[in-house]
Amino acid sequence: MFQPDLLRGQHILITGGGTGLGRAMALRFAGLGARIFLAGRREEPLRETAEEIQKRAGQAAWATGDVRDFAAVEKIIEAAWRHAPLTALVNNAAGNFVCPTERLSPNAFASVVGIVLNGSFHCTLACGRRWIEAKQPASVLNILATYVWTGSGFVVPSACAKAGVLALTRSLAVEWARHRVRLNAIAPGPFPTEGAWSRIIPSPEYEEAHRKRHPMQRFGRHGELTNLAAFLLAPQTEYINGDCVTIDGAQWLRQGGEFNDLLEVPASVWDQLQQARKPKP
C-alpha cells in the first residue's frame, strides 16, 4: 500500500521529533523517501534520531528551540529552509500530565497551553507565511487526542489546548485551501511512549485496568499511527482537507473522556505523582 518513494521530494518538519511518536513518524517518513527536519528543546534525542535516519541512508537535520517562543520558531524554520524549502509540518510537540484541576497551578496550565496551542500556531504561521508567499503547496498535520470532542477530567490544560488546535485545523483548512495549503489532524487514543506514558498513567494497576476497558483489549502500536500520518501527507490524498481522523480502536466511543475514570484514584497517588513532577535539586 505504501510505495517506497511515497514521500520522495518532501521536506517535513516534525516538532517534538526526537522521542515517542515524533521519532516514530520521523523514521517512517524517512523510510518513504522524505527529508526530515526535527525540532525540540533537547539536543540529545534530536541528534540521535537524525543519526538513526542517516544510518538508514535517509536525510535528516535538527535544531533546538522552544515552540512557545515565536522568535525561536522563526530560527528553527530558517534553519530548516537552509537545507530545502519545507513541504510539510507535523505539530507533534506536546506537554501533558494527569492532575486534579483544583491542584493545578496557573503556570502549569499556561505551560501546556503554550506548548500545544501556541506552539502549533507559531509553527503553522511561520511556515504558512512562507508557503503562501512562495505559492508553494504544502500540508500541516496536527497530533491531537480523542478528548478534543468530549473533554476529559484530570487533563484539563491538554483538553483545552488540543480542542483549540482542532479549531485551528478546521479554520485554516478553509482559509488556506485557495493557497493549496491543507491542514488535517490525527486524534490518537492510548499509544504508549517512553516518558510521556509515565506522566499520564499513574500506576501499573491503572494501566492494566485501562487496557481491559479498551474495546480491543490493547493499546495502539506506533506503526499504526505512522502509517496513517504518511497517508495523510501523501500527494495522493490532496483532497482530504480539514479532517480529523481518529485512531483509537473505538475507545472514545465506549469511554468518552479518556481519563475520567481517574476519579477512582486515591489522594495518596496524586500526592506521589505531584512529588515526582517536582524538579530534582
The set of catalytic residues is 147
Q: What is the CA radius of gyration of the chain?
A: 18
Point out which residues pair with 188 in neighbouring strands.
247
For residues 169 and 185, give the distance between their C-alpha atoms in angstroms, rounded to a whole number: 7
Residue listed under C-alpha cell 516538532 = 15
Tell me the longest C-alpha to C-alpha distance in the chain: 56
| Nearest to 132, CA basis, from 175, 69, 80 | 175
| Nearest to 99, CA basis, from 278, 276, 270 | 270
Angstrom CA distances, 62 to 41, 50, 67, 197, stand at 11, 7, 14, 24
Would you say 159 and 148 are in contact if contact means Cβ atoms under 8 Å apart? yes
Whole-angstrom distance between the N-terminal and C-terminal Cα of the chain? 51
Would you say 272 and 206 are in contact if contact means Cβ atoms under 8 Å apart? no
Where does the chain show beta strands of DSSP type E? 11-15, 35-40, 59-64, 88-91, 138-143, 181-188, 244-247
